[in-house]
Amino acid sequence: MKKINVLIVDDSAVVRQVLTHRLESDPAITVQGVASDPIFAMERMRQQWPDVIVLDVEMPRMDGISFLRKIMAERPTPVVICSTLTEAGAETTMQALSAGAVSIVTKPKAGLKQFLEDSTSDIVEAVKIAAKANLKRLVHKEASSQAPAPKLTADAILAPVAGHAMAQTTERIVALGTSTGGTQALEAVLTALPRVCPGIVIVQHMPEKFTAAFASRLNGLCQIEVKEAQNNDRVMPGRALIAPGGKHMLLKRSGAQYFVEVVAGPLVNRHIPSVDVLFRSVAKVAGKNALGVIMTGMGDDGAAGLLEMRQANARTIAQDEASCVVFGMPKEAIKRNAAEKVISLNEIPGAILKF
């Protein structure tokens, strides 16, 4: 098999050295070169264009976000941002994702070398996912250890669905689940919705501190309200709640009203938040009052939950392959016959409003 050619762009010699060693420890990857800033990177790229770029944000002569935008405008290439992030820097991360970065690996300010050595599987996986990304979709506008823990199901958080949800109400719930490529996909869907639309609950695979900035950014772009979910937030028309990174989000019901519960717990399908956890909770308490949509993403998180929603008489949709950055999650849901319909990204807002 052809190896994935990677270019590392980072002003830290330690980062360049350790990343090179760690990436090349995987037989599927070769580091074709390193550069201390984007200007040097462009010189190297004229000689040989990489399959994936691992990119820092804060660098001399040109910052990583400007370089990312330049690449995406001139020759779209999968980019993994590997950056030191703080609470204040989260908006920069959202800019990177919006500009077309496939994924983010967060590196700490202290203990950097040890972190990079300990996080080999995260970085390798991010590069492999990026290499498979459908860049045409990205330009249109993921945590494991070296010895992965057992892959838990939604049973770790709540019991399987038993019987049907409570009687139908006038409240409608839309549950969206997505991962790689989801930041762009969610922006496309939510910005297309009018202020009057069903209440929406969302799981986007994202680490802590990212989701608040992501929700805030979308809130500024959308007609509807978008916010990072807090425990007991009401799900209501014209509002979208995004599960906070590092916590699971479940739908609950009190009388005719729906709200969310935000809880700690183990990784489910190696993710927290997990789409399966959200979808199962929606199947249990909303049933036929709900619409489930599984969107672009790597892996199979959400496929089992979407099937449970369909079995509970909810409407279910999967995003089609052509409009996905990574077709893993929708493909698995389709394989399990969990999706009633398979539609393109630009058809999803209309399906939500029709529901």
Does some domain include residue 143?
no
Residue type, 347: E
Q: For the segment 317-342, what is each residue's pLDDT rounded down to a tens digit?
A: 999 999 998 899 999 999 999 999 99
Q: For the segment 111-170, what is each residue's pLDDT rounded down to a tens digit?
A: 767 777 777 778 888 899 889 887 766 554 433 333 445 676 667 666 676 655 545 556
- Contacts of residue 145, Cβ cutoff 8 Å, sequence gap at least 6: 121
Among candidates 294, 346, 295, which has minimal Cα distance to 140? 346
**Which of the following is catalytic: 83, 103, 205, 274?**
205
Which pLDDT band, with edges at 50, 70 and 90, does 255 fall under? confident
**Which of the following is catalytic: 179, 274, 281, 323?**
179
Kindly state whether residues 56 and 101 are assigned to the same domain. Answer: yes
Residue type, 3: K
Kindly state whether residues 173 and 116 are assigned to the same domain. Answer: no
Does some domain include residue 192?
yes
Averaged pLDDT, 343-355:
96
Say if residue 199 is exposed, middle or buried (CB neighbours under 10 Å; 0-12, 13-18, 19+): buried
In which element (H, E) is residue 339 found? Answer: none
The whole-angstrom separation of Cα 313 and Cα 308 is 9
pLDDT at residue 162, as a whole number: 61
* Final residue belonging to a domain, choices 133, 163, 189: 133
The whole-angstrom separation of Cα 273 and Cα 201 is 12
pLDDT at residue 148, as a whole number: 47
Report the alpha-carbon angle 109-115-116, nearest 5.
110
Does some domain include residue 109?
yes
Kindly state whether residues 110 and 210 are assigned to the same domain. Answer: no
- Contacts of residue 318, Cβ cutoff 8 Å, sequence gap at least 6: 293, 294, 306, 330, 333, 334, 338, 339, 341, 342, 343
In degrees rounded to 5, what are phi and psi of residue 288? -70, -5
- The token pair at 205 is 């695979």
Kindly state whether residues 296 and 187 are assigned to the same domain. Answer: yes
What CATH number corresponds to the domain at position 60?
3.40.50.2300
179 is annotated as an active-site residue: yes
Kindly state whether residues 293 and 335 are assigned to the same domain. Answer: yes
The whole-angstrom separation of Cα 238 and Cα 217 is 16
Kindly state whether residues 183 and 250 are assigned to the same domain. Answer: yes
pLDDT at residue 144, as a whole number: 35
Distances (CA, A) of 209 to 53, 100, 216, 245: 24, 19, 12, 7
103 is annotated as an active-site residue: no
**Which of the following is catalytic: 37, 301, 320, 323?**
301
DSSP label at residue 271:
B
Helix axes 182-190, 210-221, angle to 10 degrees: 30
164 is annotated as an active-site residue: no
* Final residue belonging to a domain, choices 78, 100, 133: 133
Contact 266, 298 (CB under 8 A): no
Residue 94 clears pLDDT 70, i.e. is over it: yes
Does some domain include residue 33?
yes
The whole-angstrom separation of Cα 85 and Cα 91 is 10
Q: For the segment 181-219, what is each residue's pLDDT rounded down to a tens digit?
A: 898 899 999 999 999 999 999 999 887 778 888 899 899
Task: Please give the model's pTM, rounded to 2 decimal places.
Answer: 0.74
Kindly state whether residues 274 and 334 are assigned to the same domain. Answer: yes
Residue 274 clears pLDDT 80, i.e. is over it: yes
Q: For the segment 312-321, what is each residue's pLDDT rounded down to a tens digit?
A: 999 999 999 9
Kindly state whether residues 129 and 167 are assigned to the same domain. Answer: no
pLDDT at residue 298, as a whole number: 83
Residue 98 clears pLDDT 90, i.e. is over it: no
Q: For the segment 9-66, what is each residue's pLDDT rounded down to a tens digit?
A: 999 898 899 889 989 999 999 999 999 999 999 999 999 999 999 998 888 888 888 8
Residues of the domain holding 97: 4-133
C-alpha 270 chain-centroid distance: 13
Does some domain include residue 145?
no
Kindly state whether residues 162 and 38 are assigned to the same domain. Answer: no
Averaged pLDDT, 291-304:
94
What CATH number corresponds to the domain at position 337?
3.40.50.180
Does some domain include residue 100?
yes
